[in-house]
Structure 1
């Protein structure tokens, strides 16, 4: 860290302001499941790069291409090498976020995916939310200051024009590594004032904040957490339909971003 009073902070802020006025060029979309990823690969006509920028033994997949004036990169963590299922959760999300930023130097990250929603906060199946802030709900460290670190509250990059233009719903996102919700998770989610919950968002936010990359979070509701139906059953029942709604929203977001600077979002 630079010492106080040497002008470094002012210089960094000036550089950041200049970057926010530059047209967005490179976008990274981080998405956890193959079912969510492949429709976007088709929509944007992305190509899987076999000569990946990632370590050769990592299962992460990189799809990229040019869509309008944007360099689009879609990163999917791939299949678990042992079990053959989607590599969901915070560990995979944080790893691919870090690797993607280092390799691709994006102007903007979009963390897209499905989520649970709370009807008490106005969520319905198929709703698409643009998260205003993200936090964890399963990192319980009951020691002063460490408790705040565990929650890890971070703001999403503000996009008031995008929110208004596309008529997306706004809400707070809470992240944990379990699909089901324990009573302790529920209490923290309530404290986080969350409308939707997922298994990746806050991990992406942690890395993106560390490396100073603007990030937005777009989540489509597959299941109503406080609706009385078994979460896994409702999630699988609605996954295909909600994934289509998510893909449509992501396409609209990309179309809106095209030709704009960060400050215009």
Structure 2
């Protein structure tokens, strides 16, 4: 329906545009590790959900609250019931993303977390990237067309204004379920033209693309994959400091989002 005319007979085109592209109201931040989540829980002054929205028996944790007019939800997959470690990886990430979208109907998903970076592509410890594309590097199916399905390339939400304003780096993200990198993984990551690698992003991207929810991937570099130090050692050494950097970066992203529509990002 067209907007009603003003007294002079003209119409208010801005009102019509705002109706078509309303400001973002509800966001969900998917984050794999409690260490990564807690700085943001504190920054946004969120409260842990006492009555879980999720199926009984799942360890998934939701923190929620209102921040600058936004309904902010952080979903953390919780601890493995048997081993007590963070439920990292693609299976947990895809499950919680699906459950969060079904339960909360968000306007935007932010997948935030730490990642390995490649010095050959210019990555340094502490760099924050907004991933333009996400793909898998460990789903090798050497059959025509199935090979493309295995890579599972998805594009993140276009955010040129956000990246420019906040001065983040942009690059492609490759996802696999192992912290280390085999020669086969390396070949696939090179084929994906990735700057950073993680264990969740492409799984989140698969679900958000399936359910047509815009997604932003914000990753902070903890280790240099093609460097001299063992990945696990460097990851643990830098995790605390880089988590602080990640928290500040995601807070800036949410500050920027407040009051804007997806098309303005």
TM-score (ref. length: structure 2) = 0.93
1-structure distance, mates of 2:118, 2:19: 37
**Match runs of 1:88-127 below 5 Å:** 88-127=88-127
- Deviations along 1:172-201, one digit per CA (max 9) or x if unpaired, are 000000000000000000000000000000
Structure 1 contact 20–262 (Cα < 8 Å) conserved: no
2-structure distance, mates of 1:41, 1:60: 15
Residue 23 of structure 2 corresponds to 23
Residue 13 of structure 2 corresponds to none
Pair 214,19 (structure 1): closer, same or farther in 2 beyond 3 Å? farther
Q: Give 1:56 shift.
A: 1.8
Specify the SS of the correspondent of 2:173: strand
Structure 1 contact 94–203 (Cα < 8 Å) conserved: yes
Specify the SS of the correspondent of 2:55: coil
- Deviations along 1:32-51, one digit per CA (max 9) or x if unpaired, are 00000011000000000110
1:32 paired with 2:2, answer: no
Residue 219 of structure 2 corresponds to 219
Structure 1 contact 20–263 (Cα < 8 Å) conserved: no
1-structure distance, mates of 2:224, 2:159: 26
Pair 227,106 (structure 1): closer, same or farther in 2 beyond 3 Å? same
Residue 173 of structure 2 corresponds to 173
2-structure distance, mates of 1:171, 1:59: 32
Q: Give 1:228 shift.
A: 1.4
Q: How many residues align?
A: 249
**Residue segments in structure 2 that go unaligned for 5+ positions in a row:** 1-16
Specify the SS of the correspondent of 1:181: coil
Specify the SS of the correspondent of 1:64: strand
Task: List, as ranges, runs of 4+ consecutive aligned residues in structure 1 with deviation greater than 2 Å.
Answer: 17-20
Residue 231 of structure 1 corresponds to 231
Q: Give 1:18 shift.
A: 7.8
Specify the SS of the correspondent of 1:218: strand
Q: Give 1:19 shift.
A: 7.7
2-structure distance, mates of 1:142, 1:228: 32
Residue 207 of structure 2 corresponds to 207
Residue 55 of structure 1 corresponds to 55
**Residue segments in structure 1 that go unaligned for 5+ positions in a row:** 1-16
Q: CA RMSD in A?
A: 1.0
**Match runs of 1:40-51 below 5 Å:** 40-51=40-51
Residue 255 of structure 2 corresponds to 255
Between Structure 1 and Structure 2, whose CA radius of gyration is higher? Answer: 2
1-structure distance, mates of 2:96, 2:63: 13
**Match runs of 1:157-168 below 5 Å:** 157-168=157-168
